[in-house]
Each structure stands twice: as C-alpha cells, then as structure tokens.
C-alpha cells in the first residue's frame, strides 16, 4: 500500500514538473526543472525495484545532463524565443499519441503479476541459470555484460561515436570572427572561486563521488551498478571540479587528446576481450575460455568489459563537458 501511494505521488510530481519544464521560458529554470524530473524518475524506478536503472538515471539524468545543459546555456540566450504563431499539427499528433498510449495501458498486465508474458519468457531462465553459469548475485549485470554482451558492446560504440560527433560539431570555428585569447578565455570560465561555501562543499563532494564511483564500478556484480553508472559518477566529479576551479583547469588536468585515446581504449578493451575469447577457441565474448574454471572466466570477462565501459563513458562525458565549457568565444 505504501509503495502504491509513493508511486502515485512521484508520478503526479513527474507530470507537474514536466508541464513546468515545458511552460518555462527561462532556459536556466527549465534546465533545473529537467534535473528535478530526472530525479523523480529515478525515485520511481527505485520504487519499482529497478535499482540499477534508478542509479543510472540519477547519475546521468539528474547529474551529468544538468551540468551539460548549464554549459550549453553559456552558448545561447537566457530565455527561449517565443513564437507568436502556434502550429497545431504537432499538438494534435501529441494528443493522438497520448490517447493511444493511455488506451494501451489497459491491456498491460498488473504490476508484479507472475503470469505476465515477460515473466514467462526468458526471465525464468536467467534467474535459474545465472547462479550456475556466472555465479554473481546481480542478475542485471550478468545479463548486460554476458548474456547480452553484443548489445552492450554496441551501446559502448554508440557512446564513443556520439562523443566524436559532438567534438566535431563544437570544434567548428567561424572564419570571419576573432577568438578571445587564452588568458581572456580563462578569466571568463574561471569558475565559482569567489563563492567560498560552494567551493568548500564541492571539494568535499568530489572525493565522495570518486569513491562511490569505484564502489559502483567494481561492486556492480553484487549490488546495483556497473560501468555506465560508475562512468557517469566519475565524469560528474570531474565536471564539478571544472565548475569550482574553472573549465580551463579541468581541461588542463585531463587534456582532450588523452581523453580521446582513453575513450578509444575503453571500446577497444571491450572488443579485445571478445577477440581474445575467439583466439582461445571460444566464441566472441564467450568468457568461459578466459579461465580454466568457466565460472571464473565469466567473472574475469565481466570485470574487464565493465572496466572498458566505465572508461569510455567517463572520458566521453568529460570530453563533451570540456568542449562545451571551453568553447571559444568570438569577437566581431
């Protein structure tokens, strides 16, 4: 009963915050609303016992995405340009889609129903065979890193490709304008050094984020976590350092060229584990052949690929933050 009440409360707040985000013309306020929206969604996932998804949503949606929005706002106006003419076609399409989704919800099984199709397909096999084949408590990690290793590898490559695309777009420099000098740019992005309370509290949070990221990275086989969540936490710590001390200093501490190589190394490590499995006589990403004991081989393989995932996610997010925060400001 309590979970139902909490679920209804969070869903109601999600709807209210979503409307507030859409109605806000101030882009900074809208970004803050969007961060609250992500935090509420993370709470809702936690209520539904999807702890891994909740952790990722909180780290990426409420944390990293909000910081990136803040960096992007430095490149645009403070308020949204209001259009006087309303286009009713998108509104009609949205209303029609909402009605279809609303009607479709009545055909969904009751939450937690053991006879639901999803619980009668592959889920029982995962629950039964994970202790036998992999022997780790967190079945979500076993599915993502082992049973669905191909899918996760594709996600890592997509993240790496997206990072390259963002860097390519942000590296564009207008030829007709002159950029500020390095010293001038450093003064513009010096951070919040004049806010003593923010700096003190922020510096206390950074090591906590890093330690928690290590826990999530290497303890994800036993508790909620893994490379994606840990990478977001590591990146959030670096972004917080950039906000406190200045984005130019965060880039100096973690240069883009090194970050790019580390991002490629993470994706290569994941692929390399699969190739090593093939060289040892197994299939691609078949971790059983990595050790004399197949269960230990699964553990070693998951540990390596999750490290590759965390490395790629961390470096790509840091590269995007540095590229946005240190984007040259041009003078006519």
Give 266-316 pLDDT, tens digit per residue: 999 999 999 999 999 999 999 999 999 999 999 999 999 999 999 999 999
Residues 92, 15 within the same domain: no
Pick the most confident of 59-73, 209-223, 236-250.
209-223
Return the higher-pLDDT residue of 11 and 87.
11
Residue range 17-39: average pLDDT?
A: 88
Contact 271, 264 (CB under 8 A): no
* Residue 326: predicted pLDDT: 72
Residues 219, 316 within the same domain: yes
Nearest to 267 by CA among 188, 175, 164: 164
CA distance 236 to 205: 10
For residue 263, is pLDDT > 70? yes
Residues 176, 237 within the same domain: yes
* Residue 189: predicted pLDDT: 46
Pick the most confident of 62-71, 176-185, 251-260.
251-260
For residue 257, is pLDDT > 80? yes
Of the pLDDT bands very low, low, confident and very high (cuts 50, 70, 90), residue 328 is low
* Residue 222: predicted pLDDT: 82
- Whether 117 is covered by a domain: the verdict is no
CA distance 154 to 37: 28
Residues 75, 91 within the same domain: no
- Whether 230 is covered by a domain: the verdict is yes
Residues 68, 16 within the same domain: yes
Residues 208, 332 within the same domain: yes
Return the higher-pLDDT residue of 83 and 287.
287
CA distance 296 to 283: 17
- Whether 64 is covered by a domain: the verdict is yes
pLDDT tens per residue across span 191-226:
555 667 777 788 888 899 899 999 999 888 788 888
- As a 3-state breakdown, the chain gives helix, strand, coil percent values, each rounded to 5, of 75, 0, 25
Domain membership of residue 306 as a residue range: 122-332
Contact 44, 7 (CB under 8 A): yes
* Residue 173: predicted pLDDT: 57
Q: Running DSSP on this structure, what letter comes out for residue 145?
A: I
Residues 93, 34 within the same domain: no
In percent, the amount of the chain with pLDDT more than 70 equals 89
- Whether 237 is covered by a domain: the verdict is yes
Return the higher-pLDDT residue of 66 and 280.
280
Return the higher-pLDDT residue of 200 and 137.
137
Return the higher-pLDDT residue of 79 and 57.
57
Chain-wide mean pLDDT for the chain?
84
Residues 6+ apart with CB under 8 A from 228: 56, 60, 309, 310, 313
Residues 160, 281 within the same domain: yes
Between the alpha carbon of residue 269 and those of residues 37, 194, 275, 306, 311, the distances in Å are 35, 42, 10, 10, 10
Residues 55, 175 within the same domain: no
Query: How many distinct structural domains can be found in the chain?
Result: 3
- Whether 200 is covered by a domain: the verdict is yes
Between the alpha carbon of residue 167 and those of residues 70, 75, 119, 203, 207, the distances in Å are 17, 15, 42, 28, 28
Return the higher-pLDDT residue of 220 and 133.
133
Contact 329, 179 (CB under 8 A): yes
* Residue 246: predicted pLDDT: 75
Residues 290, 203 within the same domain: yes
Going through the chain in order, the beta strands assigned E by DSSP cover 178-179, 330-331
Between the alpha carbon of residue 114 and those of residues 7, 37, 45, 321, the distances in Å are 20, 30, 19, 44
Residues 302, 189 within the same domain: yes
Residues 6+ apart with CB under 8 A from 230: 213, 214, 216, 217, 220, 310, 313, 314
For residue 180, is pLDDT > 80? no
Nearest to 64 by CA among 258, 229, 208: 229
Residues 6+ apart with CB under 8 A from 178: 330, 331, 332
pLDDT tens per residue across span 88-131:
898 899 899 999 999 998 888 887 788 888 788 888 899 899 99
* Residue 305: predicted pLDDT: 95
Residues 153, 224 within the same domain: yes
* Residue 311: predicted pLDDT: 94
């Amino acid at each position: 009963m309590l979970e139902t009440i909490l679920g209804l409360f969070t869903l109601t707040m999600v709807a209210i915050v979503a409307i507030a985000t859409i109605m806000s013309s101030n882009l900074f306020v809208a970004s803050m609303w969007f961060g609250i929206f992500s935090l509420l969604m993370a709470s809702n996932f936690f209520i539904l016992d999807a702890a891994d998804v909740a952790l990722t949503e909180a780290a990426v949606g409420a944390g990293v995405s909000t910081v990136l929005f803040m960096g992007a706002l430095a490149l645009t106006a403070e308020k949204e340009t209001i259009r006087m003419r309303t286009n009713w076609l998108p509104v009609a399409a949205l209303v029609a889609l909402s009605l279809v989704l609303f009607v479709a919800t009545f055909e969904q099984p009751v939450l937690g129903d053991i006879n639901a199709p999803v619980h009668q397909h592959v889920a029982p096999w995962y629950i039964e065979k994970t202790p036998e084949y992999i022997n780790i408590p967190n079945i979500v990690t076993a599915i993502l890193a082992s049973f669905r290793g191909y899918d996760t590898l594709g996600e890592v490559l997509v993240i790496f490709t997206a990072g390259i695309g963002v860097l390519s777009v942000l590296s564009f420099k207008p030829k007709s304008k002159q950029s500020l000098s390095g010293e001038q740019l450093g003064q513009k992005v010096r951070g919040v050094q004049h806010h003593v309370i923010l700096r003190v509290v922020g510096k206390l949070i950074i090591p906590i984020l890093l330690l928690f990221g290590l826990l999530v990275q290497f303890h994800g086989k036993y508790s909620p976590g893994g490379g994606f969540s840990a990478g977001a936490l590591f990146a959030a710590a670096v972004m917080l350092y950039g906000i406190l001390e200045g984005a130019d200093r965060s880039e100096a501490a973690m240069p883009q060229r090194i970050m790019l190589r580390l991002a490629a190394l993470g994706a290569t490590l994941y692929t390399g584990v699969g190739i090593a499995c093939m060289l040892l006589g197994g299939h691609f990403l078949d971790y059983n052949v990595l050790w004399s004991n197949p269960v230990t081989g699964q553990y070693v393989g998951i540990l390596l690929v999750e490290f590759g995932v965390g490395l790629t996610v961390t470096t790509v997010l840091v590269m995007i933050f540095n590229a946005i925060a240190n984007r040259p400001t041009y003078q006519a």
